[in-house]
Structure 1
Amino acid sequence: MTGWLLVLGGLSSASLFSLVTNTDNVMIELSLVALVAAVWTARSCRGRVRLAWITLAVGLGSFSVGAMLWRYYKLVGVKHPYPSVADAAYLVLPIATAVALLLLSSGHSRTSRTRLILDGLIVAGSFTIVGWVAVLDELWNSVPVDRLQMAVSASYPVLDAAVLTIGVLVVARAQRGQRLTLILLTLAMSGIAISDGGFVYLTATYQPTSGQVLDIGWLLGLALFVAAAITGRGFAHREAVAAQSVSFTSVWLPFVPLMFASVAVFTESPEDLKAGPIPVIGIVLLLAFGARQVLVMGENRMLLAAVAEQALRDPLTGVGNRIVFRDHLNHAMQMRERDALSVGVLVMDLDDFKVVNDTLGHPVGDELLSLVAERIDGCVRAGDTVARLGGDEFAVLIEGRVDNSQLVAHRVVEAFEEPFIVDGQELLIRPSVGLAVAEADEPDLTAEDLLKRADIAMYSAKRSRTGGVHLFNAEMLLAEVPDREPFASGPLPVSRSGASTIQLLGELRHAIDQFELTLVYQPKFDLRTAAIVGVEALVRWPHPTRGLLAPDEFLPLVRRYGLMGSITDLVVNTALDDVLRWRTAGLEVPIAVNMFAPSMADLRLPGKFAKSLADRSLSPSQLTVEITEDLFLDNMDRTKTVLNQLQEYGIRIAIDDFGSGYSALSYMRDLTVDEVKLDRHFIAPIPADQRAAAVVRAVVNLADELGLTTVAEGIETAATADWLRRHGCHVGQGYYFSPPLPSDKLVEVLQKCESDGTCQTLGCAVREGSCRWAESDVPQIELMR
């Protein structure tokens, strides 16, 4: 823009003398500058905007040709050069400007653009009638007039008036980033129109037209065209039709000139009216005005329909609102009684959506909700209803067979596997999804009851944090669910995190997808023989900038955002791959993996584990599933089913961190497990705390009575290890024996034990009560679990 201002400044300095002596040269130069500016802007634009500037460049080029011809007529002394070819060239500019304004206008439908043209025609026709009555009819009747000259003279003000009308109406509805350019174009045409009108009047009244004052309007108009082209490089065009209220200007503008034209007609005698073109113009005006009013009525009907549609739409996301969802659900339940079809309701709530609002701001949260609605809408069928019930809660109404409901629900959940791109950053957001299906054998089920069931299932999903679709069952009614109205909104309270949570979550998802999480293995020792009887797999995250992260630093994110299924698959398959490598090295080592307890309600889990073992030709007895007791257990019946299937396959079950929760004894009674792992907080105080020792002794004795293996974790002293051995604890693990080891280091340890037959070569002497790994053999790793 600065460069163009320098060009204009240089042009003004160079042409200052010419402006005083002959403005024709300046007009030619300035029109050429405007032409170059329009072409320059057109090259930087695309689509309709580019076409608009190309059209305007054609008009300015034609004006330049007209200015050159007019200058030529003066130089060679042509008499009476009006009208001439130059006038035809001049008249191209207002037509091109009108087309450019229509192309640059956005937020207009094809109908509203047609109305703009009709408004311009009405104003131009009205202006022509007023001008005829005021000036031209007297000339027509008093002296012989060249009919061509009269037509050309009328063409200038008529076209200018039409363009100015279109310009004013377009500016009235201009949006942000558009108004300045459109105002400059309209003002440019105003300057041209003023000089055109003055020229026509002076010509019609046989007065001199060579005065420099008359040229000021043309020069000012051309300069404004240059300014408009410069600002046009930043023109913000929007292709979509915007729903805007009708501007007051567009309402009154066509009627005021029409009123003046009517008054002017009534001042003329019938004979004078018949002698001129007013009857023809009047017929055109009537047709144009009638067509305009027909379009206005059509637009009003469309506006009413749009308002009615918006009343049933969520204003933020564009999907249905609570009202339309309720109506569709009631109708579906009525049709269900007649056609015996099932009706499914899916209710979903975005987990920890408040984190996004609190850390990134509500505008980002609003954009995320819009993207979520768009993604859900892309997963459902044409006849399904998607609605936003309020806040970050959405619902889907699914009509048809039962399997359709579950298919759509799973498709919705899978759609959230990909992150959302909001404000230039990736956000991975997870939904808690509940599904309730009204079967054909429940004729008395109401719409409110069905929605309440889906709501209960959604809250069950939110409590479990396991992801997936939670299908309503009667057991969920026993759980405590917040008391809500059927169509109330709002998520359950969730824990707050810092702003880095969102970024860390995206990095964690990438790490899981790219298999960047690693495993270390802590050996488990038989306290009677000192033999290594297995290892426990512990997950670590080698973060590229934060270093090695312990489970406590990222597993809460895994649980909160429903990634436990993905990380479980990664840990189990990686651990079994390592077992397979150890077998190749001649080592048979059972392995234990930790499971998030609510995951045990997944009926697909036993089959997945059995397949992973079978694919590697590994015995199921080599895998132990450790379930963290302090996170137990929502759906006990499903959990029992899963545990029974695991044991039928031959996979061992252990309760990890036993004693850290409140239901330990009931789990020993109700669940068929193979192993109990005593929590480290029970083990550590044994040498100094007789009450703790008594509790551990009682648990060990009870486990013996039930035929369960006892494992003590967190052993850090020889006295603790010796006490546990003497009181019948079977297996121990902890830093006293070994820290968690990488797979290759573990192989070295196992091979040394294998070659010696015991662990004596590594400094371990459990039976003598002086067990300790030699620091030269095993690195001391910071306790991470």
Structure 2
Amino acid sequence: MLEPVTGYQHVARASIRVLLIEDNPDDVALVTRALERDGISAEVVTVCSFEEFRDRLSRSSWDLIISDYSLRSFNAFKCLDLCNSMNLDIPFILVSGTIGEETAVEIMKAGAHDYIMKDRLIRLAPAITRELRDAEVRKTSRAAQQALFSLAHLDSVTGLSNRSNFLAQLSEHSQKSPDTGFAIYVLDVPDLMRVQRVFGQASYDSAVRVVAARLKKCLTDAISLGRVGDHTFALAAATFQPEIETACKTILEQLVKPIDVGFSKFHVDAYLGVAMHATGDGDPQQSFRHALFAVRQAYQAHTPYCVYLASAEHEESDLMVLMGELSNALETNQIQLYYQPYVNLKDGSIAGVEGLVRWQHPQHGLILPGRFLPMAEQSELIQPLTQRIIREAITQELAWSRSGTPIEISINLSIRNLPEKSLPGMITRLITENGLSPHLFVFEITESMFMDHFSESLVSLMQLHDAGFRIVIDDFGTGFSALAYLKRLPIDRIKIDRTFIMDLPNNRTDRAIVNTLIDLAHRLDFEIVAEGVESEAVLTLLKDLDCDKAQGYIYTQPLPADELSHWIRKSRLRVAQPHLS
């Protein structure tokens, strides 16, 4: 009997790589001569043990496998089983002189692509050509199917599941493990859109990929991870209720580090909404909707994360009904302005009033702005609402001016108003066509919201300022203003947020902050107003710190115009004449 030839190989001019399973050197030569005779250029590597076959198969790629049926310690069936277990689609041709027809049929069923008797090797070249062609067709088909799958199920930028595939994976998991609950986390990173506007699409895609990569590190037991919107991601994990807070912090901590964008490092704010999908909850799509609701709540409240509560959704449902009624309210004089004075601390005169919007609802009574304004800002109603407020202020200013006591009126603008190019012209036209001076009006904008939309807002503010209107930054100290921004803004006045004012006599840190803000304002030639003043002790401290003006319940709560006029007469405070130039 011939001895096995370990490691024997014949190398011809390389074109295809052939793994030959054969332990008889004469048969090895027979096969290689048949390949050369028929012009098949191949690199042929011969193995004659199963261990060597497995090693070669795992370490290299092959175009074709040619195998004898029966070798000393194994056979072709064992080799085919290994190929199938590794999910390899390599043409497998059996070349043997010992198998019968029944065995040949069985081995074809096991996955062999063809079998050829050793005395009929003239069939080998055509079989190889056919099987290589068919393998290429299968490869192309798999690539096309994978491309179609990717288009249908994967996000093209990150490779994560898209929204539909994310939900499908949740449904599949829920059906396979109906007794296991899980948590759904929805992460919103709205600052990614700012990256797109400032740095362009390529940088935006890069930043999106960074967020996706960081999320992959968060929870190793994730059931599914997907990108479900332009700047929204979703993650499902088998998290129990007590672990949710820890999981939220883990996710959000991944986004504390800045993202490299070109030559810049970009910090992003992120918001997280969480909903539990408990055992027996049915379709996870409802739980996913709850998580979306929760992340919207987190964004609106400017809180890092929010866990879904059914009671909160019921409240939002009531708000949606209310928003449906707001359009009618704008047309039926239900929107009113209440006025709260701010007082000059140097001479005790009334320097002006802030107009604060109220909704006098026919069924619900007086509705404060915190109830309806945030949702109005997310809808198209914010524009007509702003116009209504300005018209109300104009009407009242006309009444006060005609009575001989013009009063400066301060009006809050929504951040949604400022990017509108028509806003400055619309305001100027409304006021001047009524014969009023722009110097009678002040426009306030909240610091934190303004800093998030700096570029879009700056042009409108500069145009308003150039037209003669005064500009105020409200809630100063709660955002992240930089001195470089303050120098660029057309600001006349800043208002210190009430959170620094209310405990001023008892809190040394608040006193230090307020003292610094007052000094900063004066060095930059800004007036400074303290809001939320409610006690004589606070008022005395503000005077000692050289604050210019104060506003709060120590004087009066916001009042309708006629009640404010009555309060002014009763208080005997002098109304300062506005500077009209």
**TM superposition score category, shorter chain reference:** 0.3 to 0.5
Higher helix share: 1
Larger radius of gyration, structure 1 or 2? Answer: 1
TM-score, length-normalised on structure 1? 0.34
Higher strand share: 2
TM-score, length-normalised on structure 2? 0.45
